[in-house]
Each structure stands twice: as structure tokens, then as C-alpha cells.
Amino acid sequence: MLKFLVLRWMDIIALSRKLAGIISKSGFRPDCIIGLIRGGLIPARLLSDYLDVGRMFAVGISFYTDVGERSEKPLVTQDIDVDLRGKSVLIVDDVADTGMSLIASRDLVISKGAGRVMLATLHKKPWSKVVPDFYVVDTDAWIVYPWEYRETTRSLTRKLEGDISPEERKIIEGVIEEIRRLIEEGF
């Protein structure tokens, strides 16, 4: 059955603060933070502030082609040209769904000579192939982050044009309505 978790900006701030607390309590102190383009950039920037880590970079890993649809394997779409030899690196994404983007980015960072590499996400799915070192929430719902409201609405609207059950239609229409309300409210 389709399940959605629609988040607001204040949810992202609260989750990121909680994640920063978890990381701080662990004693891990990264030399730099790498955010995965698109979903990991905002949590990475917040963690950079909360953890007082001034060096932040971005890596592009492409895996999803649509809501709930992904390619066979992740591709590096934006490499990182930074000397990471011996550095402690925190890789940040919004969610560990399959975990493949996190694995690909960790492999990339290790190939650049990084020392200690840790993974952090706001959410983790039970079926992820990798368990992040740090995460806040375990969920099996499709998560709708505020930075993808319009993208998700467009995708779900296309799904309504397909052959779906009345139950799925009702769920999708409800999510679209919730997102539209949040957009109108200025989310």
C-alpha cells in the first residue's frame, strides 16, 4: 500500500538539529561535509552550521527517475575535485532508500583517499542496503521533502492518469491536496 510522509521546512530543521546532536554525541568530528545533490544539500548545509564544519562540498549521484522509480545503478553526475587524503568525511543525504547512492558516494570519497568516512541521513528505509552511521527516523513511507513539492505533485498527477486502484487514487489525490495546501500557505 502507498504511504507518504509529507514534511515541512520546520520538520527538516528539527530533524537536522536532532541528527547533529546524534553525531556530536558520537564524538565523530568531520573535517568536511559532502552533501549529495539534490536531497542531501540542505541537510548537509544545516549540519555544517550545527556542527561548525566550514568545509562543505557536493557530489552528484543520480538514481531516481521518478517517484518510486529508479535506474539500475547510481551514476556519478558531479564528481568532487578536492584533496580528501586522510580526511574525516561526513556524507549527507536526505534518505537511505536503497542505499545505493550512499554506497556509490562513499566508494567515490574513499577512492579520493579519505580517511574515516561516515554516512548521515534524516531518514532510513528498512530495506536500505546500507545503514547510515547516523540517522534520525526509520520509515517505509515515501517521503516528500519541501524542496521537492512541485516535482512530486507533477509526478503524482501523471500517476493519476495511469491505471491505478481506487484506493491508490484516493491516497495520491490526498497527498497532492496536502502539498498544494502547504504551497499556498508558503510552506
pLDDT tens digits for 108-125?
A: 999 999 999 999 999 999
> What pLDDT, on the 0 to 100 scale, is given for residue 69?
56
**CB neighbours of 137 closer than 8 A, spacing ≥ 6?**
15, 122, 123, 124
One-character DSSP codes across 79-99 = ---S--TT--EEEEEEEESSS
Please report the pLDDT score of residue 20 as a whole number: 98
User: What would the pLDDT profile of 18-74 be if each residue is shown by its tens digit?
Assistant: 999 999 999 999 999 999 998 999 999 999 999 999 999 999 988 655 555 566 777
3-class SS of residue 121: strand
Query: Which three cell numbers, joined as nine digits, stand for 107?
Result: 566508494
Pair 108, 76: CB distance under 8 Å: yes
- Which helix (H) or strand (E) segment is 12 a member of? helix 9-26
pLDDT score of 64: 58
72 or 96, greater pLDDT: 96
Q: Are 63 and 39 in contact (CB under 8 A)?
A: no
CA distance 1 to 48: 37
Q: Say whether pLDDT at 84 is over 60.
A: yes
Q: What is the model's pLDDT at position 50?
A: 98
Separation CA 69–CA 22 (nearest Å): 31
User: d(Cα 69, Cα 75) in Å, to the nearest integer?
Assistant: 15
Q: What is the model's pLDDT at position 170?
A: 96
pLDDT more than 70, % of the chain: 94
CA-CA distances (angstroms) from residue 186 to 52, 152, 153? Answer: 29, 17, 16
| Cα–Cα distance for residue pair 15/44, rounded to 1 Å | 12
**Distance (Å, rounded) from C-alpha 29 to C-alpha 69?**
35
Q: What is the pLDDT of residue 66?
A: 56
- Cβ(93)–Cβ(145) under 8 Å? no
- Helix, strand counts (H, E) of the chain: 5, 8
Report pTM: 0.91
Measure the CA–CA gap between 148 and 38, rounded to whole angstroms: 9
- Provide the pLDDT for residue 76: 84
